[in-house]
Amino acid sequence: MYHQIAGRKLGRTTDHKEAMLRNLVTSLIIHERIETTEAKAKELRKLADRMITLGKKGDLASVRRAMKSVRTKEALGKLFNEIAPRFTERNGGYTRVIKYRNRKGDGATTAIIEWVEAGAPAKAPSAAVEPAEEKQS
């Protein structure tokens, strides 16, 4: 029976799936935006949000727990020093999944997954410009 089994299988063994998700979360931390299949992105979202939560705590136990999933020391440092501090005021929902296109080779639906704060557009100067003062003679 298939009771109380959370998550997608993604057509892989459990060990392969866990290794793939660890590689994806490391790539997301390093590049801050990656393109993958929609199912993988939705599954990655859970792990990525958990890493941000650990990064916000910042204690030694959190670093050690994050080391289980993050593959490189550079990515681990970036997670705790750059990415997690962006989300101090946010209580969840750290990633965004955007449906992108169908892959040419096999027609798989792809998606872009990125950090919410990184994808926010910079505020452009307002369109309303003060009128120039007229000179009175």
Q: Where are the domains of the chain?
A: 14-115
Q: Please give the pLDDT value at position 128.
A: 44
Instruction: Decide: 21 and 51 in contact? Cβ < 8 Å.
Output: no
Residue 36 burial by Cβ neighbours in a 10 Å radius (0-12, 13-18, 19+):
buried
| pTM as predicted | 0.81
Residue 98: per-residue pLDDT: 97
- Separation between Cα atoms, residue 34 and residue 114, nearest integer Å: 7
Residue 97, CA distances (Å) to 38, 40, 72 in order: 8, 10, 24
pLDDT on residue 117: 82
The count of other CB atoms within 10 Å of the CB of residue 40 is 20
Cα separation of 87 and 95, whole Å? 11
Helices (H), the chain: 14-31, 38-57, 60-67, 73-78, 84-86
pLDDT 10s per residue in the chain (137 long)? 888 888 889 999 999 999 999 999 999 999 999 999 999 999 999 999 999 999 999 999 999 999 999 999 999 999 999 999 999 999 999 999 999 999 999 999 999 999 998 544 444 444 444 445 555 55
What CATH number should be reported for the domain whose range is 14-115?
A: 3.90.1030.10
What is the model's pLDDT at position 118? 58
The enclosing H or E element of 113 equals: strand 109-115
